[in-house]
Amino acid sequence: MGAEEAVKSLSEQLSAAEKRAGDVSAPIVLSDSGAGGTALTDPATGLLNQEYFVVALESRIAAARRHLRPVAVGVIQAVDRQEGDTRPNAEPVLVAEALRATLREADTLTHLQDGRFGVVLEDTTESGAISTIERLRLHLAENHPSLTLWVGVACYPAHALTAGELTDRAGTALIAARDWHQSRIEVATDE
């Protein structure tokens, strides 16, 4: 499959998923596997899930490449501020509500399989992503002061040129953010 065909296919999948997500009465499935299909929303938070994150990011990067626009990705982990080495993840519903309250409607908000959250910020530079995530941090600090927020941010095309590389860079930045005991936003390094 050529690049143009792949972009068209991803765009069609994304459009179909977004249309189904907007229609509350329609079940959202990844495939036509009937009742055994995988839902695109996380039942605990109501956010879209990791499968949607992957497809949306690939589609957004393809569009950004075509139109020479930036895309930012944030990988987010919120934990309880308990002392010690094992700090449990924050209640997912609290983080999901904070994401909805602080991010734009056009941003892609997802709850990933490992309990972290992923955001795709279309047409957003590194500085814009930092400002956006800082709003989230301030919202959580004001409404849920017992939580610590760690975020790894990576941007297309500054840090990576593919979806896989971008999520890897954001994940590496998140690991660096977790080295701090307080809330921290860490940006990927240029390699």
* Average pLDDT, integer, range 126-145: 96
Separation of alpha carbons 108 and 170, rounded Å: 15
Residue 164 has pLDDT above 50, yes or no: yes
Q: What is the mean pLDDT of the chain?
A: 85
pLDDT value of position 191:
65
Q: Per CATH, the architecture of 3-187 is what?
A: 2-Layer Sandwich (3.30)
Cα→Cα distances 108→57, 148, 154, 191, Å: 9, 22, 15, 26
Domain boundaries, the chain: 3-187
* Average pLDDT, integer, range 108-129: 95
